[in-house]
Structure 1
């Protein structure tokens, strides 16, 4: 949706498309890293210094009737949907210091254009389900663009090709 310019922002307008967004590849090593942290049944996301070059999204839920699949879907929706609720990226899609520590960071990590790999884990820590996803390279770097705004795939990195239906480079 984002790459094709179909993501709605909190003000009802659409985010610009992405010229250089990579299709994410699932990485089992990142899944193990996420599992190692989620398995501790933490109450908050990990310290950035504890995960090296990995970005992270963290979510906990306590709803009745939740199972692992529902927890996965809800976590992903929650991380993504913040862009429809909170003010965030402007037309330049630049990650700024005022974004740090705000809810928009889960969305920006998910759509960080040059992030190549991701792995996730969900652990049941009664009564909570703890969801952790890890990403490399990490996004949310102050001063960098989340993605280059423009027509989908117009600037795919060298060695990648465009999947026009998704608007992603792979």
Structure 2
């Protein structure tokens, strides 16, 4: 509810770390390749994925081999501002390649995350970092809903605040008994909506610009 121009949510699940998702993400990062892992889903649910590459053409610039997760996750989230996400796309959800990282980050029913990272030398790009985050259950479901809208951040019936610090982030209420239309929030893969995983968020023309520009870049 604190993103300018977007309504608050009534069912935003809190994200918690998941070792299995992290293992799968690290396996993909270790391939040192472009694109997304098409074999990333696990038995519990369909898995969404965000991938980013950061590189420099200066082979003498070591680019600092440690990951900068804060900056990378902020870059994914900042797509909302950079590419002007509109609240009309929340429900029913309208997918946009330019915004796919952001919309996965804030997909309400996603409550597990695991990430991996690798640093390597690529023959064309030079020194490269790859960031991979897997999300479960995966979001970006065309025709679904990013989240349930609310006047203020809250947790609808069937959910409870996950932490005292962030009362608008929710978890399942183990004591709730009622007609909860999302009773099994883990089973979003059974939805009749279309699942789409964001590939590259930038159009081809922007990709060409990135590949030809002699600076440090992110994709």
Residues 47-106 of structure 1: CA distance to partner in whole angstroms, max 9, x if unpaired? 3xx223110000010155434242x2222111111000113332462322xx24x12010
Contact 2:12 2:155 in 1 (8 A): no
Q: Which has the higher strand share?
A: 2
| Aligned ranges 1:90-169 → 2 under 5 Å | 90-91=87-88, 93-94=90-91, 95-96=93-94, 99-100=95-96, 102-126=97-121, 127-150=127-150, 151-155=152-156, 158=158, 160-161=160-161, 163=163, 165-166=165-166, 167-169=168-170
* Contiguous gaps of at least 5 residues in structure 2: 122-126, 172-219
69 and 40 in structure 1: CA distance in 2 versus 1, 3 angstrom threshold: closer
Contact 1:16 1:91 in 2 (8 A): no
- For the aligned residue pairs, the C-alpha RMSD in angstroms reads 1.9
**Looking at CA atoms only, which structure, 1 or 2, has the larger radius of gyration?**
2
| Aligned ranges 1:1-170 → 2 under 5 Å | 5-8=1-4, 14-47=5-38, 50-52=39-41, 53-63=46-56, 64=61, 65-70=63-68, 72-91=69-88, 93-94=90-91, 95-96=93-94, 99-100=95-96, 102-126=97-121, 127-150=127-150, 151-155=152-156, 158=158, 160-161=160-161, 163=163, 165-166=165-166, 167-170=168-171
**Distance (Å, rounded) in 2 between the aligned partners of 1:164 and 1:149:** 21
**Distance (Å, rounded) in 2 between the aligned partners of 1:159 and 1:6:** 20
Q: Which has the higher contact order (CA 8 A, sep 6+)?
A: 1
Deviation at 1:45, TM superposition (A): 2.2
**Distance (Å, rounded) in 2 between the aligned partners of 1:32 and 1:58:** 15
159 and 15 in structure 1: CA distance in 2 versus 1, 3 angstrom threshold: closer
Residues 133-162 of structure 1: CA distance to partner in whole angstroms, max 9, x if unpaired? 001100000011101111212415x25335
TM-score after normalising by structure 1: 0.81
